[in-house]
Amino acid sequence: MRKPLLTTDFLDRARRHYADEEAVLAVDGTRYTYAELGDRADRFSAALQDRGIEKGDRVAVLDPNTHYHLEAAYGAMQVGAVHTPLNYRLTPDDFAYMLSDAGVDAIYADAEYAANVEAVREEVPTDVFLTNDADAVDGDWESFDGALEDADPAAYERPEMDEDDVITINYTSGTTGDPKGVCRTHRAETLHAYLITVHQEITDDDVYLWTLPMFHVNGWGHIYAITGMGARHICTRGVDVADAFDRIRTEDVSYFCAAPTVLNMLGDHHADHGGATTGENPVRVATAGAAPPEATIRTVEEEFGWELKHVYGATETGPLVTTSDAKRHYDLDSDDRFAVKKTQGIGYLGTDVRVVDEDGDDVAPDGETIGEVVVRGNQVMDRYWEKPEATEQAFSERLDGYYHMGDLAVVDEDGFI
């Protein structure tokens, strides 16, 4: 049997089995059940269709980690529109480029950041502008909540969708040129969410703290995995370490993601202020980016009592493609675990991760010979938005059919990157 893999299945499952359970703790303290979250997403779907949004149209979301982001994302995807999250730290010129490049048809922007879109309004190809606080934004912006109140949640029509349809466009950082729109399909997003559910050990009783930006590759897939499992979202407006510790204690947070820099910020804050580092639940934290130094891992695991999972990837790959959480390769009570946890690790299930030389041949697994990391997996992007030459180069430069990460690495005798 073949059942299409659709991103809409995650919220559908949650409200079918967890309708009366808490889904989201909003920044303002409002708590929403999965039935309520689903109703608000349905209303946004209806509001989008009332404004002419159709399958394949792009809906941009400029928002920190609030419930509005979740509602806008699912509301857009339910009508087959392409969820296009944007980095709220960027400039008006950045937004003008990305919104025009994607050809967006509607924009939801948090009131704190909407001015940066308003500044380039005439350069943006849409006349649908929504925000959470229209009174706080100069220009002609509609109220998101007002649009939901006026919408009939039963009125929207969900179109036929195929798992190979593009459903998200995530823009790269643009460090070597203009940002590129990474096109990801229902299938890629779904399988990536399945993978992180397994490797990050996500369950329905998890309490997930949003410190990782939702805009960053859809929060590493957690807008799907946490929702689909029926776990709780604890929303924030970014990283505030004092608030993070408070939420961990008072909301019994069990899981979150944090770059090594954020882990260091948490360590510095705790060294200065002390206090409990957990609530009722044990805590695990995923980190990615630069390899965390041993001192950081010691702080997280020995002082905080958390379990650290080091992962690796890129916007184009889902993002996550490897993990160093391979417990049979180290003694949990020995310092030998640090040497393993500092590596990028081994490939996720169903993911082919290799390090190759200039001829596309695998480097020797000696921990010394350097090559480029290349990846093949179901979570890898479909293409760059309207950039066929860049797509071709990304998948064929050294080894045909593999996405080329642009990162140099070595491989040890156990296959760890």
Q: In the structure encoding, which two tokens stand for residue 37, read together?
A: 């979250």
pLDDT in tens, 147-189: 999 999 999 999 999 999 999 999 998 666 889 999 999 999 9
222 within 8 A of 189, measured Cβ to Cβ:
no
145 within 8 A of 60, measured Cβ to Cβ:
no
DSSP string, 320-356: EEEE---GGGS-TTSTTHHHHHTS--EEPTTEEEEEE
Task: Give the pairing type, strands 371-377 and 403-409.
Answer: antiparallel
pLDDT tens, position by position, for the chain (417 residues)? 999 999 999 999 999 999 999 999 999 999 999 999 999 999 999 999 999 999 999 999 999 999 999 999 999 999 999 999 999 999 999 999 999 999 999 999 999 999 999 999 999 999 999 999 999 999 999 999 999 999 999 999 999 999 999 999 999 986 668 899 999 999 999 999 999 999 999 999 999 999 999 999 999 999 999 999 999 999 999 899 999 999 999 999 999 999 999 999 999 999 999 999 999 999 999 999 888 899 999 999 999 999 999 999 999 999 999 999 999 999 888 888 999 999 999 999 999 999 999 999 999 999 999 999 999 999 999 999 999 999 999 999 999 999 999 999 999 999 999
pLDDT in tens, 37-76: 999 999 999 999 999 999 999 999 999 999 999 999 999 9
Percent of the chain with pLDDT over 70: 99
Domains of the chain: 27-184 (3.40.50.12780), 239-409 (3.40.50.12780)
Is the peptide bond between 388 and the residue preceding it cis, with omega within 30 degrees of 0?
Answer: no
Instruction: Show Cβ contacts of residue 361 under 8 Å, excluding neighbours closer than 6 positions.
Output: none
DSSP string, 168-185: EEEE---TTSS--EEEEE
Q: Give the per-residue pLDDT at 252.
A: 98
Q: Give the per-residue pLDDT at 175.
A: 67
The alpha carbon of 4 is separated from its chain's Cα centroid by a whole number of angstroms, namely: 22
Q: What is the pTM of this model?
A: 0.97
Helices 186-199 and 8-17: crossing angle in degrees, nearest 10, is 50
Mean pLDDT of all residues belonging to the chain = 97
